[in-house]
Each structure stands twice: as C-alpha cells, then as structure tokens.
Amino acid sequence: MGRRIATTLRRAAIHAGPTVLGIVVLDFLFLQLMPGDAADVMATEAGSATEESMAALRHQFGLDLPLLSQLGNFLDHLAHGSLGYSPRFNTTVLDLILQRLPGTLLLMITALSFALLLGIVLGSVMAAWAGKWPDRLLSVVVLLLYSMPGFWVGLMAVVLFSVKLGWLPNDGSETIGAHLTGFAFLADRLSHLVLPALALASFFVAVYARLVRTSMLEVQRQDFMRTAQAKGLNPFLIQLRHALRNALIPVTTVAGMHLGNLLGGAVVVETLFGWPGMGRLALEAVLARDFSVLLGVLLLSSLLVIVANIAIDLLHAWLDPRIGEA
Amino acid sequence: MTVEAEIVDLGSRAAPKKGRRLRAFLRNPNFVAGAAILGFFVFLALFASLLFADDPQAMVSSPLVWPGDDWQFPLGTDSLGRDVLARLAYGAQASLLVGIASATIGLAIGMVVGATAGFFGGRIDSVLMRLVELFQTTPTFLLVIVIVSISDPSLGTIVVAIGLASWPTVARLVRAQFRSLRESDFVMAARSLGYSRLRIIVQEILPNALPPIIVAASVMIANAILTEAGLSFLNMRDPNVVSWGGMIGDGREQLRNAWFLTALPGAAIAMAVLSLNLVGDGLNEILNPRNEQ
C-alpha cells in the first residue's frame, strides 16, 4: 500500500513538472501582452514623469532587458517565492493572495462536498430506477440545474431566502462587528456560507448526478457484480461497496478536471456575495488594472488544480488496487 | 478504378440510410424539444429589429413597470424605463452570436490540434497533449478574464477569448477519434493507394470522426453562452450591446423591489442553454451507434 502510493506520487510529480513550467511561461507571456508596464503604473501613481525618469525606472526594474533575460528574472523571482509587488494594494502579491486563499478554499471545499454528496445520491437513485418515473423526474431537474447559470441560481436563492424569508444573509463571510464567539460564531459563519456554496455547487450537482448515473449503470454489467450477487450478498451492500466504489473513479477524475471550472465559477459567486476570496481579488485586480495580481491569481489557481489532481491520483490508488502497481 | 470506388464507399459509411436517419431525429423527444426551443430563440434573434422597432437602449416608459401591469410592455420595464421584452429579444442576438462564433473558433483550433496529435502520434502527440493539459489546468473563466482585460471588452474579444479557452476538450475528443480510426481498414486502404496525409485526414478520417464532435459542438455553444453571461454579469461587456448577463447585472441593483428584472434574463439563459443541451443529448442518442439497440 505505502509503496504503491509512493509510486503514484513520484509519477504524478514527474508528470506535473513540465506543466508547471508551461503555466509559468504562459503567465509571463500574458504579462508581456498586458498594456503598460510597472513603470507606467508607478508613473501614473506619482502623477507625473519625464522620459528620463521613466527610462531610469525601466532600467531599475530590468524592463529594458531582452525578453529572454526578463523571463530569467521572472523565473528567478518565482523561485524565491515572489510574485511581484502590487502598488494598488500596497503589499506583495503573494501576501495578498495568501490572505484570500483560505476563503476560496473554504467555499470551494464546501461547494464541492455538497455537489458530490447530492450528485452521488441523485445519480444512484436515478440509476436504481433507470427508465422509471423517479429517473425521468430527476433527469429533468438535473438537466435544468445543468443549464442554469450558477450566479443566477444564487441570485434567485437570495430573493427567496434573504429578501422574502429573511433566513440567510447574502453579503460577506461573517457579520461585521458582531464579535461572536463559540457556537454563535460558527453558526454565523455557516449561515453566510450556505448561499454562496449553493450557487457554486448547483451546476456541479448536475454534472456528478449525470456521471454517477451512467457509471453506476455501466458497473452493473461487470463480472465482479455477478460474483457478488452469486455469493448472495445483501443487494444494498453490493451497490454500496462494489458498484458505487467503482463508479466513483470516473466521478473523482471528472471532479479533478472540473476544479479549474469551480475556481472560475468562484470569481462570479464571490463577487456576487462579497465573499473575501481569491476570485473576487482577481476581479478587483482587473478593475484596478493591477495585472501582476491578476496573473498571480491565475498562476496560483493553476498550481492549486495540479496539487488537487495529484491528490485525486492518490485517491484512485486507494479506491482501485489495480492503479499504481508495478 | 473499381478498387478506388470501393474504398471511397468504405470511407463514407454514414451516407446510405438518410431517410431512416431523418426519422430517427424526428422520433427523438430530446432532440425535437431542444430544436423547437432553440428555433424560437433563433427566430427571436433574427427578427428582433422587426419585432421591436425601437432602440432597446432607449427609455420608452416609466421605470420599473411590473410584468402584466401595462400590456404595451408585457414583461415590464427596467430601472431606466426600457422595454424588458425587447431587450430580451436583442439579448438573444448577442448570446447566440457569441455562442456560435466562439464555439467555431474553439472547434477549429481543437480539431486541428486533436487531428494532428491523433494522426501522427509519437513526439508530436506528446508535445501537443502537454499543451492541452496546460490549458486544461488553467481555470477557463480566469483565462477568459485575463484575455479580455488585455484588450477591450468588445464582442469580438469576448468571442476570441472564449474560443481560445474552450478548445482543449475538443482536441482531446478528436485525438481519441483519430487514434482509433487511423489503424482502421479504410485508412489502410487509402494509405496503400498513396493518398496524401492531408487528404486522408480531411476526406477519410474526419467524416467518420464527426458524430461525437457534432455533439460536443452543441455543448460548447451552451458553455460559451454561460461564460458570456458570467462575463457580462461582471460588467466585462460591450456597453453598446444588450446581453442577458448584463441585464442580470443591471437588475441585481433592484433585487429587493423588482426581482423580475433578474429572473427573466436568467430564465432566458437557462432555456437557451437547456435547448442546446437537449439537442446535444438527442444527437448523442441518435449518432452514437452503441445506443442503437
């Protein structure tokens, strides 16, 4: 077991290396394409600048060097963990993003768990009654969820739960200035989390439900299912331990592929609910035309996707003993 | 001569049963329902300027008229007194245009990359797949935001940005098709006749690889419409173009007293995307030979 996990981990790391480098280079190229450079930004901040002082600034930051040396500098800074400095937010880009990372992670993990849980339940129910009325009814519901923009689902939930019923807050991640402690603090944070997580999860509930349905139906034809039935095991346990466990492999793969989309969706949802996360930071950076922050967010979220996919490879090695052998 | 005729016939296996296929389309409830809704939106988009002669950006009535209150404006007016129904019709133009144009760009790039990778294999394949992986790792929506913010948020740049961010899925799909088809008998026959690689790729393999690509195309248009809605909701939109996402963004300010301004354009997006997904599901059932039994 431990050996297999080590093999999987090593393979994943070797595989991820070039991708990380590619993302960094792509990131650098985008930075080059952005209108204006750091000298322009600083000149605007200062209010006035002469040709000479601009040239001096460019020289100071190495902006007058050839493209390849600039790429070298960029990589050198990255290797030292520096993503640049944001004049607009008056702090380093890395600090800025790390401040927002926990918020995004909390929102994403909550939404993903909710989507997986509901998706698996809906998909299993649909597969168990395939072709009958529960399947047909849920198929329509799932297809509707699949077609609605998540942020609109969020807005409609705000109308219902915040405006009409007044049950849930619709702005921020906690009640400002409330200084709550203990259970009240948790309840407050949780109530702020519900609507954004719901908005972010709605599309993915549909994705996973459709996928679980298909793979559950596919698994039923496998030999090990027949063996389990022949052994006279409890039908419910067969579905849970044998069918679902195997059906989960494509689901986790797709969940990994969709992580990027989830992060993208977080941009809209975080902006909508005033949630202090990385996605809203990206949009604030666009509005402030602070491109180093925007690209920092792009870089870090790509890295996040890579790390998460390695974690999923490990999960696969655990779910299916055949993976990662030899 | 006879050999060549036979091979051409092998290459175009899909052709003979046209009549049966048309009936299969009409008998598929998903496809029929999806096509009907989609047809309605296409009609609305094409004839928006005939149906609603007034400028959709112009103030035509008092602001915030609720749907049903004034039958001159059956779906009410927004906070600037603009006709919501007319704006929905003009919004269909933007959504469908962005959806179709960006899906075309994404399909074109994805097909070229996927066909090259799948047909040639080897080193070309591994380099191209690395590129695909790179783009799939980057969050699509963030990538679109970056590309749009490099240039101006005009309809053109939004189309290009969504197209550039959406090709990897198609590339993977086309590559898989080409890998399985390149060793098939009719390709071997074409090779032995000395056809050029380009001719084999375009005339022999591509027609046989098309069905899943057609299904993917409808899903891509649907996703592009959703992406465009998100972008224009975030105000990254062409200010001169009426778009459904932008209408939601404007209506959000009135969420407390006039939630229909948010609900209606959102419902329009959901119906348009739903129709494309239904068409996609229907096409998948009709074109996928594994579903024929």
| Residue environment code for B173-183, b if the CB has 16+ CB neighbours within 10 A, otherwise e | bbbebbeebbe
Please state, in angstroms and rounded to a whole number, the distance separating the CA atoms of residues B135 and B116: 17
> Which one of A25, A155, A278 would you mutate to disrupt binding with B, by most B Cβ within 10 Å of its Cβ?
A155
Q: Which pLDDT tens digit goes with each residue over A15-28?
A: 777 788 888 888 77
> Can you give the pLDDT at residue A299?
83
Distance from CA of B234 to the nearest CA of A (A): 7
> Can you give the pLDDT at residue A326?
44
With contacts defined as CB-CB under 8 Å, which chain B residues touch A136? none
Please provide the average confidence, as pLDDT, over all residues in chain A: 79
- Which residues 270-289 of B are in CB contact (within 8 Å) with A? 270-271, 273-274, 277-278, 281
* Least trusted range by pLDDT, from A264-273, B11-20, B90-99, B109-118: B11-20
With contacts defined as CB-CB under 8 Å, which chain B residues touch A108? none
Contact A265 B146 (CB under 8 A): no
* Phi/psi at A19 (5° precision): -65, -45
Task: Please give the interface size between A and B, counted as residue pairs whose CB atoms are below 8 Å apart.
Answer: 131
B-chain residue closest to A146, CA distance: B274
Torsion, Cα of B28, B33, B34, B39 (10° steps): 120
CA distance to A195, A226, A322, B198, per residue, from B256 (Å): 16, 57, 55, 60
* Least trusted range by pLDDT, from A118-132, A144-158, A287-301, B225-239: A287-301
B269 at the A interface (CB within 8 A)?
A: yes
| DSSP codes joined into one string, chain B | -HHHHHHHHHHTTTSS-HHHHHHHHHH-HHHHHHHHHHHHHHHHHHTHHHH--S-TTS--S-S-PPTTT-TTSTT-B-TT--BHHHHHHHHHHHHHHHHHHHHHHHHHHHHHHHHHHHHH-HHHHHHHHHHHHHHHHS-HHHHHHHHHHHS---HHHHHHHHHHHHHHHHHHHHHHHHHHHTTSHHHHHHHHTT--HHHIIIIIIHHHHHHHHHHHHHHHHHHHHHHHHHHHHTT-S-TTS--HHHHHHHHGGGTTT-THHHHHHHHHHHHHHHHHHHHHHHHHHHH-GGG--
B-chain residue closest to A20, CA distance: B134
Mean of pLDDT values over A104-110: 89
Q: Comparing C-alpha atoms, which of A251, A189, A169 is closest to residue A216? A: A251
Mean of pLDDT values over B113-142: 87
Residue B290 has pLDDT above 60, yes or no: no
Distance from CA of A183 to the nearest CA of B (A): 31
With contacts defined as CB-CB under 8 Å, which chain B residues touch A282? 142, 145
Mean of pLDDT values over A136-141: 88
Contact B138 A302 (CB under 8 A): yes
Please state, in angstroms and rounded to a whole number, the distance separating the CA atoms of residues A168 and A171: 10
B156 at the A interface (CB within 8 A)?
A: no
Residue B292 has pLDDT above 50, yes or no: no
* Least trusted range by pLDDT, from A38-52, B88-102, B127-141: A38-52
CA distance to A25, A42, A77, per residue, from A74 (Å): 9, 19, 5
Distance from CA of A88 to the nearest CA of B (A): 17
Q: Which pLDDT tens digit goes with each residue over B220-239?
A: 999 999 999 998 888 888 88
With contacts defined as CB-CB under 8 Å, which chain A residues touch B222? 147
Closest Cβ opposite residue B274 in set A143, A156, A291: A143
Percent of chain B with pLDDT over 90: 16
Residue A325 has pLDDT above 60, yes or no: no
A-chain residue closest to B248, CA distance: A152
Contact B146 A158 (CB under 8 A): no
Contact B142 A35 (CB under 8 A): no
Burial environment of residue B17 by CB neighbours within 10 A (0 to 12, 13 to 18, 19 or more): exposed
Contact A264 B259 (CB under 8 A): no
> Can you give the pLDDT at residue B159?
92
Closest Cβ opposite residue A144 in set B138, B230, B270: B270
The pLDDT-based confidence of A168 (bands split at 50, 70, 90) is confident
CA distance to B12, B45, B177, B203, per residue, from B9 (Å): 5, 40, 20, 12
> Can you give the pLDDT at residue B13?
47
Residue A165 has pLDDT above 90, yes or no: no
With contacts defined as CB-CB under 8 Å, which chain A residues touch B248? 149, 151-152, 155
Its ipTM equals 0.81
> Can you give the pLDDT at residue B7?
41
Contact B134 A261 (CB under 8 A): no
Q: Which pLDDT tens digit goes with each residue over A29-75?
A: 877 777 666 566 666 666 666 777 777 766 766 666 677 777 777 77
B138 at the A interface (CB within 8 A)?
A: yes
The pLDDT-based confidence of B112 (bands split at 50, 70, 90) is very high
With contacts defined as CB-CB under 8 Å, which chain B residues touch A305? 137-139
* Phi/psi at B110 (5° precision): -60, -40
Q: Which pLDDT tens digit goes with each residue over B156-174?
A: 889 999 998 889 888 988 8
With contacts defined as CB-CB under 8 Å, which chain B residues touch A268? 141, 230, 233-234
Contact A283 B263 (CB under 8 A): no
> Can you give the pLDDT at residue B162?
92
Please state, in angstroms and rounded to a whole number, the distance separating the CA atoms of residues A227 and A245: 16
Contact A30 B140 (CB under 8 A): no
Q: Which pLDDT tens digit goes with each residue over B38-86?
A: 999 999 888 888 777 777 777 777 777 777 777 677 777 777 778 888 8
Burial environment of residue B2 by CB neighbours within 10 A (0 to 12, 13 to 18, 19 or more): exposed
CA distance to A38, A50, B221, per residue, from B36 (Å): 53, 63, 17
Distance from CA of B40 to the nearest CA of A (A): 17
B234 at the A interface (CB within 8 A)?
A: yes
Q: Comparing C-alpha atoms, which of B190, B260, B153 is closest to residue B10? A: B190
Please provide the average confidence, as pLDDT, over all residues in chain B: 82
Residue B106 has pLDDT above 90, yes or no: yes
Percent of chain A with pLDDT over 70: 86
Structure-token pair, residue B131 = 């590129």
Mean of pLDDT values over B3-26: 55
Contact B150 A263 (CB under 8 A): no
Contact A88, A171 (CB under 8 A): no
Q: How many CA atoms lie within 13 A of B96 on its CB side?
A: 22
> Can you give the pLDDT at residue A51?
74
Domains observed in chain A: 94-287 (1.10.3720.10)
* Phi/psi at A255 (5° precision): -60, -40
B-chain residue closest to A166, CA distance: B256
* Least trusted range by pLDDT, from A112-116, A220-224, B83-87, B141-145: A220-224
Distance from CA of B197 to the nearest CA of A (A): 30
Contact B139 A302 (CB under 8 A): yes
Maximum mean pLDDT: which of A7-16, A69-78, B267-276: B267-276
> Which one of A108, A147, A291, A313 would you mutate to disrupt binding with B, by most B Cβ within 10 Å of its Cβ?
A147
With contacts defined as CB-CB under 8 Å, which chain B residues touch A264? 139-142, 144
